[in-house]
Amino acid sequence: MKITMINGAPAGEWVAYEKALERLKEKHDVDIFTVRDLNIQYCIGCFGCWVKTPGRCVHQDDMDAILKSVVSADLQLFLSPAADGFITADTKKVLDREIPLVLPYIRNFDGECHHPTRYGKQPDLGILLMDDGTLDDETKDITFSIFDRLAKNFHCRRMIKQAVTAETIAEVILNEARIG
């Protein structure tokens, strides 16, 4: 399985999770993008990726490599600790920069307005919240609910939502990959 993994954790305390991810590479084709080490600008809402250079952002940065990986992936997984009740700003900025994956047009999908996809099939989507023991139920529920909406907007077939520890993260992903 081809997996694109976006790691939006800050440096330091989450290193055990990151080491655990190395196990995945033995069984799957995994691209891991650690946002803090990359040059990725925030989306500025210019819609250039829709109306000036369709499919491409005006920012020329490391997001190119992520989008290239995503369009050929079977599964895109976001990995983030909770920061004030939601994913980190680093994780969110990658999500924002994925709007080139949809078209500007609006259509009716299941009774709501959504954008059609640019590439046809979208990879399955997942959010793994890193749980160091302080993750609360409300943060989990809000984050998972927002990702449910994202899965709708990005037309993803399957949505994975889990809280993970450094000990469970690799096994959770391997299990989900088996199901997928």
Q: Which residues bind other proteins (CB under 8 A)?
A: 42-47, 50-56, 64, 67-68, 70-72, 83-90, 92-96, 98-99, 103-108, 111-113, 118-119, 138-139, 142, 145-146, 148-150, 153
109 beta partners: 112
Minimum CB separation from other proteins for residue 26, in Å? Answer: 27
Are 143 and 95 in contact by the 8 Å Cβ rule? The answer is no
Nearer to other proteins, 38 or 103 (CB): 103
The single-letter code of the amino acid at 57 is C
Minimum CB separation from other proteins for residue 88, in Å? Answer: 7
Nearer to other proteins, 25 or 149 (CB): 149
**What's the alpha-carbon Rg for the chain, to the nearest Å?**
16
Beta strands in 13-145 (DSSP E): 29-34, 75-81, 107-109, 112-114, 124-130
Nearer to other proteins, 37 or 47 (CB): 47
Residue with the two structure tokens 């891991």: 32
Minimum CB separation from other proteins for residue 27, in Å? Answer: 25
Minimum CB separation from other proteins for residue 48, in Å? Answer: 9
Distances (CA, A) of 55 to 8, 49, 90, 102, 103: 23, 5, 22, 8, 8
Nearer to other proteins, 62 or 148 (CB): 148
